[in-house]
């Protein structure tokens, strides 16, 4: 009970900040039931005059609420299907910048994580050079077999896990209450969104997993001449510390420095697009946070990526889906694009393939009347997902993350080369993958894998038969005797349901009373 009151107090505070900064103006009242509309109207009474326009209000409110909510906003930026395209675009600009914690505290964290004094680990260890909500970065030097080397040391912020755990518990409580009070909102799956954020943050706070991401991406791209990533130093890496090679390079948004260094911006823009597509389609594993701050060009003109806290992964089905869709639009084969959706199982079979192809044509034809450098591939995918929603296509998190990453990547490439032809740039990568995986050689490899799988199934047939017999026996018992429900269980269910209803009503009264008190105090 005390925990519920604490969560309620935290959520009331968060709700007041959101209302005060005008973030609730983004909510479409017409999409809410009458009771929720009244609550929204009351909450907006405390809105600050001249709170600002658009989703900038939401960004400001989340920044005021602290690191957990900033991270939540960045997570929502990858879900335009929930917050809307305009809000997602503004949330992309939400800056995860926090004041650094002292070097002495970082030294303590490093020594505890690696079990040795800082002077035994590093020849030099600088003051913090960048700080975010989860970790900060220091520049250091180490001694290796080849000589001295400059490295980047990422250190998790002290107490960050406890802070995120408290805020996530409050978010879970708010999501449950929201689902109970606004049943129509369940389709947005608010509790599932919070759990997805919790998993994402848990991964991001274990720097060993980020080191593994660097290692996997490096392995995938070791033969790519125009792309590289830092090398992790595993002996100087733990849950709270990540050490990688230092990157000396020019940020991709520093156009003046790129020009001064004599690099070809047109070629760099092409490398950005083709590298991303290779990682997504060829490898099924891509950097999902490729904003300009995480991309550099090194002294040899190669593209270098850093910060691997957010990664995306695509299975073979999703990779084929993406490749065939892009190629279908390039060739104006809308029927094939529609068929790919049905073959992947993304669109329910009760819909007509021909009707779906007609809807896709409405997206594809207008782009062929425009110059190649005016066509946005990311916008095309956004429109495609809007159309598929009309045909009951369920939201696919991995595809939404892919689409949002493509929006950012395309923006980076077009900043380097405003006349970039996305189609000509993408076509070689897409065509090569399709020829390799869907051509004769690819079909032969698929057949070989299928035979190997079939052989394994045949070998397991005796065990499968025994399991089937046990399941059928249990099913016969249930059919004959029925499912008995203990009376104590029935009573407990009734008590839990009654308690939940009482808490819901109490929460509404507390919220209304809090807003009334705030209004009476005359907030300016």
| Residues recognised as catalytic | 289
| Bridge pairing between strands 311-313 and 135-144 | unpaired
Tokens of 162: 């406890």
Which of 387, 55, 334, 37 lies closest to 181, judged by CA?
37
Which of 434, 425, 380 lies closest to 272, judged by CA?
425
In whole angstroms, what is the distance from residue 154 CA to residue 100 CA? Answer: 12
What angle in degrees, to the nearest 10, is found between the helix axes of 56-65 and 2-20?
Answer: 140
DSSP output for 129-143? EEE-SSEEEEEEEEE
E-strand stretches of 177-321:
227-228, 241-245, 250-251, 285-287, 295-297, 303-305, 311-313
- Please state, in angstroms and as integers, the Cα–Cα distance from residue 51 to each residue in 73, 479, 499, following that order: 18, 63, 38
In whole angstroms, what is the distance from residue 407 CA to residue 419 CA? Answer: 16
Give the number of other CB atoms < 10 A from CB of residue 45. Answer: 12
The answer to whether residues 227 and 271 touch, using CB atoms and an 8 Å cutoff, is yes
- Long-range (24+ apart) CB contacts under 8 A made by 376-381 are 376/410, 376/422, 377/326, 377/406, 377/410, 377/422, 377/423, 377/426, 378/403, 378/406, 378/407, 378/409, 378/410, 380/329, 381/406
Q: Describe the strand order of the beta sheet including 250-251 as a list of residue ranges.
A: 227-228, 303-305, 295-297, 250-251
| Bridge pairing between strands 303-305 and 227-228 | parallel
> Residues in the chain, how many?
524
In whole angstroms, what is the distance from residue 120 CA to residue 236 CA? Answer: 11
* Those residues with Cβ within 8 angstroms of residue 42's Cβ, 6 or more apart along the chain or in another chain: 512, 515
């Amino acid at each position: 009970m005390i925990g519920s009151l604490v969560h309620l107090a935290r959520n009331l505070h968060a709700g007041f900040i959101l209302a005060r900064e005008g973030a609730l103006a983004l909510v479409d009242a017409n999409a809410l039931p009458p009771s929720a509309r009244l609550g929204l109207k009351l909450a907006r009474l405390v809105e600050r005059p001249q709170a600002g326009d658009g989703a900038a209000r939401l960004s400001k409110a989340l920044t005021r609420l602290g690191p957990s909510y900033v991270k939540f906003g960045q997570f929502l930026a990858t879900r335009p299907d929930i917050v809307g395209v305009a809000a997602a675009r503004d949330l992309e600009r939400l800056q995860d910048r926090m004041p650094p914690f002292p070097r002495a505290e970082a030294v303590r964290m490093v020594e505890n994580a690696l079990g040795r004094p800082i002077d035994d680990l590093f020849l030099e260890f600088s003051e913090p050079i960048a700080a975010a909500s989860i970790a900060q970065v220091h520049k250091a030097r180490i001694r290796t077999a080849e000589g001295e080397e400059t490295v980047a040391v990422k250190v998790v912020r002290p107490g960050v896990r406890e802070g995120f755990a408290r805020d996530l518990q409050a978010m879970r409580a708010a999501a449950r209450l929201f689902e109970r009070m606004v049943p129509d909102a369940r389709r947005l799956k608010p509790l599932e969104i919070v759990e997805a954020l919790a998993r994402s943050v848990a991964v991001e706070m274990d720097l060993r997993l980020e080191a593994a991401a660097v290692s996997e991406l490096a392995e995938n791209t070791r033969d790519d001449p125009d792309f590289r990533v830092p090398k992790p130093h595993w002996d100087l890496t733990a849950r709270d510390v990540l050490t990688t090679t230092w990157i000396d390079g020019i940020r991709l948004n520093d156009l003046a420095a790129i020009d001064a260094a004599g690099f070809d911006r047109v070629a760099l823009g092409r490398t950005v697009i083709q590298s991303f597509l290779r990682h997504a389609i060829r490898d099924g594993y891509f950097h999902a946070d490729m904003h300009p701050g995480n991309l550099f060009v090194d002294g040899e003109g190669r593209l270098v990526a850093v910060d691997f806290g957010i990664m995306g992964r695509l299975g073979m089905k999703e990779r084929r889906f993406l490749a065939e869709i892009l190629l279908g639009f390039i060739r104006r084969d809308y029927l094939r694009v529609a068929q790919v959706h049905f073959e992947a199982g993304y669109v329910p079979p009760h819909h007509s393939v021909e009707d779906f192809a007609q809807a896709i044509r409405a997206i594809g034809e207008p782009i062929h009347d425009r110059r190649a450098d005016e066509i946005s591939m990311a916008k095309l995918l956004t429109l495609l997902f809007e159309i598929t929603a009309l045909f009951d296509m369920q939201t696919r998190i991995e595809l939404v993350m892919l689409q949002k990453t493509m929006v950012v990547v395309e923006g980076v490439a077009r900043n380097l080369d405003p006349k970039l032809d996305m189609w000509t740039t993408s076509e070689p990568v897409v065509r090569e993958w399709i020829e390799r995986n869907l051509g004769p050689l690819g079909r032969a490899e698929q057949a070989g894998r299928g035979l190997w799988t079939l052989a394994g199934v045949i070998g397991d047939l005796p065990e499968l038969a025994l399991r089937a017999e046990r399941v059928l026996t249990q099913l016969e018992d249930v059919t004959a005797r029925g499912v008995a429900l203990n009376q104590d269980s029935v009573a407990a269910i009734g008590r839990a349901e009654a308690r939940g209803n009482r808490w819901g009503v109490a929460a509404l009264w507390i919220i209304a009373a809090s807003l009334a008190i705030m209004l009476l105090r005359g907030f300016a």
